[in-house]
A and B are shown apart, each in its own frame.
Chain A
């Protein structure tokens, strides 16, 4: 099916471990984004990408790494997870000026 798929949907890890959240889109949208949503708060932009091999920081990039070797994939890596990174992570895509299309989210718990 067309759309954005995120994996894993749920992940529990320990402090200091490396975690990678995967994101795949089938629309061939130019832009892709990673947002996090903490309980009771809105979405905050972590990183975004305007095209393959072009990435840039958002509002809260510290502790995260992204790559975009292919247009359809935009993985997010937590190199050394911390408890403060416990959150729900949403991947999204859009065309140049359009609205966001979100994945279903990845719920990450860091113990």
Chain B
């Protein structure tokens, strides 16, 4: 059973608008969540993270929201830019484990149209 799910395989938005990428998880023992961005033919790169003790973390145009009761997190990109077009992976870490031992979702391909 997949513990981290990104139910939207793809998302298309217009440049300048908001992009919202969603992620659901099932294991209540996850305590740390990360988002990675991946361009074609490159390795994923870390984007932003959030601890389960917080409900929001912001870094420039990127904000991650965590709703623990719903076991749901979302990544907001405002404003979206064409360079944001990439695959975004949500990842979750079990409590007291290294963040590298994360469980990944299948990814959402974001396309930002000029």
The reply to whether chain A is a binding partner of chain B is yes
A interface, CB within 8 angstroms of B: 4, 31, 33, 35, 40-45, 48, 50, 58, 90, 92-94, 96-105
Q: Is the CB of B89 within 8 A of A42?
A: yes
Q: How many of chain B's residues touch chain A, expressed as a range?
A: 20 to 34
Q: B1-37: contact bitstring with A at CB < 8 Å (1 yes, 0 no)?
A: 0001010010000000000000000000000101010
The 4 closest A-B pairs by CB, nearest first: A102-B43, A42-B104, A99-B46, A94-B100
Cα distance A96–B6 in the bound complex, in angstroms: 26
| B residues less than 8 Å from A33 (CB atoms) | 100-101
Q: Is the CB of B101 within 8 A of A102?
A: no
| B residues less than 8 Å from A99 (CB atoms) | 34, 46, 49, 99
Q: Is the CB of B104 within 8 A of A94?
A: no
Q: Which of A4, A33, A102 is the most central at the interface, judged by chain B CB atoms within 10 Å of its CB? A: A102
Contact (A103, B43) CB under 8 Å given A48-B101, A58-B101, A92-B100: yes
Q: Is the CB of A97 within 8 A of B98?
A: yes
Q: B31-75: contact bitstring with A at CB < 8 Å (1 yes, 0 no)?
A: 010101000011111100100000000000000000000000000
Q: Is the CB of B100 within 8 A of A48?
A: yes
Q: Is the CB of A43 within 8 A of B89?
A: yes
Q: Is the CB of A43 within 8 A of B104?
A: yes
Q: Which of B49, B99, B100, B102 is the most central at the interface, judged by chain A CB atoms within 10 Å of its CB? A: B100
| B residues less than 8 Å from A94 (CB atoms) | 98-100
B interface secondary structure, majority:
loop
Contact (A104, B34) CB under 8 Å given A42-B89, A48-B100, A94-B100: no
| A residues less than 8 Å from B32 (CB atoms) | 97
| B residues less than 8 Å from A41 (CB atoms) | 106-107
| B residues less than 8 Å from A92 (CB atoms) | 43, 100
Q: Which residue of A lies closest to B36 (CB)?
A: A100
| B residues less than 8 Å from A100 (CB atoms) | 34, 36, 44, 46, 99-100, 102
Q: Is the CB of A42 within 8 A of B107?
A: yes
Q: Which of B4, B41, B43, B102 is the most central at the interface, judged by chain A CB atoms within 10 Å of its CB? A: B43
